[in-house]
Each structure stands twice: as C-alpha cells, then as structure tokens.
C-alpha cells in the first residue's frame, strides 16, 4: 500500500487551500479551494477569504456576497452555516440542506402539536405551516430583501408565539419568526442577505432566492449531490481517513462508506496514523514542494476544521488553541502547520508563537500580520468561541 507522508500532506494543504502566493485570484476561488467557508461567526468569512486573497479588501467580500452574488450563505453539513460559491450551492443544499430542513420541519410541527400557541393555529398543523411559508416567501419576493421584523409585518403569522409547558427559567414564550425563516433557508426557499450593520453584524436580512435562481434553488438527486460533495472534499482535503469525512459531513459511518464505495478512490497509508486514508485514484502523484509561507487563519477556519484528526498539522498545541467544545481559535501557520495563535487587541493584531520557526518564519508572520492589519479598517474582532491563547493575547499577555 502506498504511504503518503506528513510532509506531502502539508504541501497539499498549503497549495490546495490557497496558502501559497499567486492562488487563488478571487474570493470566490478562495472559497472553492476549501469547498466551503465556515460562517457560524460572520467575521470568519471575511478573515478566511482575506487570508487567501492578499489583494482583496473587505468590500470585495461584501460585493461577492451581496452584489455580484458569486457567494451565498446557507446551512449545510452538521447543520453548520457556510458560505459557498453560488454555482456549488445546489450541491450542498441537495447533499445536506434538504435533510436538515426535513428534521427542522418535523421538530417545529411536533412543538406546534405539543405546545399552546398564541394565537391558536388550528388542527391541521402541516397545512397551517405550509401556508405561512408561502405567505413569507411572497413577502420576501415582493421586498427583494428584508429584516425578519419587516417580514413579520407582512406575514403576521410569523409572530405566532409558542407558550412553554414547563416552569423552568429557560421556558419562555418564543415567536416562530426565526424558526420558520431558518427552516425556509435550509429548504432553499430564501437566502441570507446583507447584514443589518457592519460586516461583523450577526443580524441579517433575508433575500429572495429568485435573485440567484429565477426558478428557485436547483435540486439535484441526493445521492449524486453527496457523491460530488465527497469528490470535492477529497480533492481539497485528501488523503484523509473515513473518520475525517464522516465527521466533516455529519453522516453516519454506513452512509460515508457507501458513498466512498461508489467513487474511484484508493486506500493509502498515512504517516503517524493507525487507520488508512483514502484519496481520489487520479490524485496519487505527489505535489511539488511549496515554499514555506506564513498565514493567519481565523477562528473556525475551514482548513483546521476540515479534519477530525489534526495531529499532523496541529502538533501539541490543541490546549491553547481550542475551546472546550472543540472549536479552534485564530491560528498562526508556517510551512503547512500550526505554530501559534493570534488575536486583535484594541484594533491591533498581536500573536504568539508556540514553537521556534526561525528568523525567516518570524519575519514572514510579521509581514502577513501587517498586511492583514491594514485591511481591517481598524476593526477589533472577538471570536464567538474564545480560546485560552486568544483570551491571553487580548488581555495583554505577551
């Protein structure tokens, strides 16, 4: 069995994830290079794409998301929010989004059936929900783009309130507005639009899906969409273990293995791993060595979040760089591996190396930090999930 060593995996990571000079050229190409961009934290989208496109500015990313619409935000694998190239969105939607929408719909109908509502919704819950979705979709189409509060004015049933059955502190009445819109987004009936505030804002407008696809979100057969998703992931993240793919997609082990069996893949050994890896059969030739490069990747960046087993690029640094729930914070990279962490303190990028990378590496990190600093317009970014080193740096630790 062919064995692919750690050095080659790091070379592939740098080259294929846009961490070497000269590629990618546009923010849409940068997103495609890592298949999807994590978007749970709005700042991650911008910082991930800036890291891979040295010539891009914040406005270029906003334009790709909201003007030329070459990128779109949607729910995908593991019910996570992602930004994806618009032409790839139907694949993600059909491979993962529709199944998530089915679960969200089932949960909402169950809650409607077991909770009192104000006003009452009637006996035929499915018909009621279907009619509310249709009314909401008409309102979005008419406005083109609107805040949830505006849509609930046009479709008052969005303000229907679920009355809790219990008496716990967290049992509070909740309007259905957010749940219905999230369901419709997962179902491909509406998409997330411009933020209500700056690029760091968590509140966003909802936009008509017909601004991207006049006939609605294209739907593909689930199996073929899943195969294409696996193919894209292996092209960017392979070689990797079956466990890596299972974790990234959120599928069962059986589904993951069934999909791999339908693709032309080859099993390979991985240096330092007890389990074999898989790689696309046409992708066995080694990549030429890449020049050592530095990068500052944000919290939840798609590269370090792309594998379940990360020792080959993370080393011993997990305690400092991850929170208790397994979310990675901002990381400093050199030559295809994580070597430190960074943060923004009062508008200034600060970092700490966790290992010796030599004078060349230190100079490269400083240069990358300086370039990024100049493109943030003085913003201070605090990740949603705080990690030990990021907190230390913000609080003034050296």
Alpha carbons 326 and 42: distance in angstroms, whole number: 19
The CA–CA distances, whole Å, from 117 to 148, 166, 175, 244 equal 20, 14, 9, 42
The two tokens of residue 200 are: 């760091």
Is the confidence at residue 32, as pLDDT, over 60? Answer: yes
- 236-270 pLDDT, tens digit each: 999 999 999 999 999 999 999 999 999 999 999 99
Burial of 386 (0-12, 13-18, 19+ CB in 10 A): middle
The two tokens of residue 358 are: 């030599």
- 325-342 pLDDT, tens digit each: 999 999 999 999 999 999
Residue 170 is predicted with a pLDDT of: 61
- Reported pTM: 0.95
Which is nearest to 398 in space by CA: 354, 358, 352, 367? 352
- 211-234 pLDDT, tens digit each: 899 999 999 999 999 999 999 999
Alpha carbons 8 and 384: distance in angstroms, whole number: 33
The two tokens of residue 61 are: 């990313």
- 61-78 pLDDT, tens digit each: 999 999 999 999 999 999
Mean pLDDT of 280-304: 96
Residues paired with 4 in a beta bridge: 270
Q: How confident is the model at residue 172 (pLDDT cuts 50, 70, 90)?
A: confident
Residue 23 is predicted with a pLDDT of: 72
- 85-127 pLDDT, tens digit each: 999 999 999 999 999 999 999 999 999 999 999 999 989 999 9
Is the confidence at residue 398, as pLDDT, over 60? Answer: no
The two tokens of residue 257 are: 């293995």
């Amino acid at each position: 069995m062919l064995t692919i060593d750690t050095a080659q995996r790091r070379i592939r990571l740098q080259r294929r994830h846009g961490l070497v000079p000269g590629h990618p050229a546009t923010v849409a190409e940068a997103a495609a290079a890592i298949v999807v961009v994590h978007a749970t934290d709005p700042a991650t989208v911008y910082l991930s794409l800036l890291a891979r496109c040295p010539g891009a500015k914040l406005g270029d990313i906003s334009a790709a998301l909201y003007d030329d619409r070459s990128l779109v935000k949607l729910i995908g694998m593991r019910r996570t929010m992602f930004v994806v190239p618009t032409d790839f969105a139907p694949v993600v939607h059909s491979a993962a989004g529709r199944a998530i929408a089915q679960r969200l719909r089932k949960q909402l109908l169950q809650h409607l059936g077991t909770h009192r509502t104000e006003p009452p919704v009637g006996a035929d819950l499915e018909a009621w929900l279907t009619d509310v979705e249709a009314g909401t979709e008409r309102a979005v189409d008419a406005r083109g783009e609107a805040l949830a509060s505006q849509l609930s004015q046009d479709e008052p049933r969005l303000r229907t309130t679920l009355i809790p059955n219990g008496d716990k502190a967290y049992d509070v009445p909740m309007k259905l507005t957010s749940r219905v819109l999230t369901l419709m987004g997962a179902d491909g009936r509406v998409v997330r639009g411009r933020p209500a505030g700056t690029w760091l804002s968590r509140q966003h407008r909802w936009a008509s899906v017909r601004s991207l696809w006049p006939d609605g979100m294209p739907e593909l057969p689930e199996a073929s969409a899943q195969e294409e998703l696996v193919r894209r992931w292996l092209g960017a993240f392979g070689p990797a273990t079956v466990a890596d793919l299972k974790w990234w997609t959120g599928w069962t082990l059986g589904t993951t293995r069934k999909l791999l069996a339908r693709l032309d893949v080859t099993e390979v050994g991985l240096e330092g791993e007890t389990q074999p890896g898989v790689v696309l059969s046409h992708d066995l030739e080694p990549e030429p060595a890449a020049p050592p490069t530095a990068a500052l990747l944000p919290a939840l960046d798609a590269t370090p979040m792309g594998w379940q087993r990360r020792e080959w690029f993370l080393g011993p640094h997990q305690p400092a760089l991850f929170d208790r729930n397994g979310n990675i914070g901002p990381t400093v990279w050199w030559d295809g591996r994580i070597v430190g962490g960074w943060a923004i303190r009062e508008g200034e990028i600060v970092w700490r190396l966790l290992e010796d990378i030599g004078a060349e590496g230190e100079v490269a990190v400083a240069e990358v930090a300086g370039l990024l600093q100049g493109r943030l317009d003085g913003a201070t970014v605090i990740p949603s999930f705080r990690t030990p080193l990021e907190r230390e740096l913000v609080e003034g630790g050296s």
